[in-house]
Amino acid sequence: MKRVAILGSAAMMLAVVTAPAQAQFSTALDVSERTARDTATSQQRIDQLDDQTQQLLNEYRANLKQLESLRRYNASLTRNIESQGREIARLREDIDNVEGLQRAMQPLMEDMVGRFGELVSADIPFSIEERAARAARLEGLLDNPSTSAAQKYRLIVEAYQIENEYGRTIGFYEGSIDADGETLTGEFLRIGRIALIFKTPDDSVMRIWDKDTRGWENLNRSYLQDVKYALRMAKEQTAPDIFFAPVKPPVAAQ
């Protein structure tokens, strides 16, 4: 009976000891599970924060590049604005000088128009009606208030350019002359400002303008083929080539 009691007491003590150990183990297991869950949650949060950080870093780098681009663009605009400012200042200065420039240009244009008419009158009489009409238009141009000074000057310069071109080209036109009391109709050949030659269609008459006598003189018929060849060149019926032109010999200066 004593031994049984002892064994029974040991069993009871083992039961008492075992119950708290199981409870502690269960509690430890729960803590471990909670810790694992918390660790997983924390890791997931860390991964999310890492992704957000990387995204923010990429956005920051992109913003830095955009900022640098905008800074360079603003610098370019600043240079353009400064350049435009200088151009505006120059234009304002030019505008301020326009009135004085117009006052200086008016006498110059009047002299140019007057001398243009003198040039046409003193020159060999080729295309005289056309050139005289151009001189008359220039004289009327000066008194036209609807035409600006710049337009007037441009038209005057263009007229001088046309006259200058006559000296470097050959040309032809049809017309008539008064010679020996009769009117002869034919073709005129202009060789620069060197010679002005008149020829009838049947080649029976050839005259050349004499600057000294201010009249038409007979031209040696040895020039007939050259004159006809030059007329074809002036009419663009043949390619430019060399031909003989009648020119007065030079005279020794007094």
Segment 82-123, tens digit of pLDDT: 989 888 988 877 766 666 677 778 888 999 998 998 888 888
State the amino acid at position 7 in one-letter form: L
Round to whole Å and give the CA distance between 102 and 98. 6
pLDDT tens digits, 205-246: 999 999 888 889 999 999 999 999 999 999 999 998 998 888
pLDDT tens digits, 6-61: 444 444 444 444 556 677 777 877 777 888 887 888 888 888 888 888 889 888 98
Q: How far is CA 138 from CA 105, 106, 120, 153, 209, in A?
A: 15, 13, 13, 10, 27
Task: Give the residue among 212, 219, 213, 169 at the shortest CA–CA distance from 197.
Answer: 219
Give me the pLDDT at residue 4, please. Answer: 45
Sheet with 182-191: list strands edge to edge: 170-179, 182-191, 195-199, 206-210, 215-218
Average pLDDT over residues 62-66: 89
State the amino acid at position 221 in one-letter form: R
Give me the pLDDT at residue 3, please. Answer: 46
Task: Show me where the domains of the chain are located.
Answer: 170-244
Round to whole Å and give the CA distance between 59 and 66. 10
Which residues are paired to 186 by β-bridges? Answer: 175
Round to whole Å and give the CA distance between 108 and 149. 11
Average pLDDT over residues 164-187: 90
Tell me how long the chain is.
254
Give me the pLDDT at residue 23, please. Answer: 73
What DSSP string runs through 2-31?
HHHHHHHHHHHHHHHHHHHHHHHHHHHHHH
pLDDT tops 90 at residue 172? yes
Give me the pLDDT at residue 143, please. Answer: 83
Percent of the chain with pLDDT over 90: 35
For 240, the 3-state DSSP assignment is: coil
**Which pTM was predicted?**
0.56
- Confidence class for position 156, pLDDT limits 50, 70, 90: very high
Give me the pLDDT at residue 207, please. Answer: 94
Residues whose CB falls within 8 Å of the CB of residue 205, separated by 6 or more in sequence, listed in order: 179, 184, 186, 198, 199
Give me the pLDDT at residue 222, please. Answer: 93
Give me the pLDDT at residue 95, please. Answer: 67
